[in-house]
Amino acid sequence: MKLLFDQNLSHRLVTTLRHEYPDSQHVRDVGLKDAIDAAVWQYAAQHGLIIVTKDADFHQRSFLFGHPPKVIWIRVGNCSTAMIEAMLRRRRHDLHVFATEAESAFLALE
């Protein structure tokens, strides 16, 4: 499962989670740091990536357009990168199930 971390998440997650989520990327590293949501959406769809974001706009986009790409919406307020990293490690099984379910478009993590 390959993730695309949105600009509202740390680029360090790519490195710290490389064993759990190999081949994941951050928008900053693929030239999409300041891109509009539509460009991030298109890139993720073209490259088989699941968008991971704290941005509710991607959640709404998944309702409008379906998938691909799929969206993981992290619904926590201000928190550290370490807390998000721990959440993604702890919920790895849930993310794997989500990634393989044909009908699922988004997953909210709290």
Phi, psi of 69 (to 5 degrees): -85, 165
pLDDT digit string (tens) for 43-96? 999 999 999 999 889 988 988 888 899 999 999 988 999 999 999 999 999 999
Residue 68 lies in domain: 3-109
Quote the pTM value: 0.95
CB contact at 8 A, 27 and 7: yes
Could you give the CA distance from residue 74 to residue 76 in angstroms, rounded to a whole number?
Answer: 6
Number of domains comprising the chain: 1
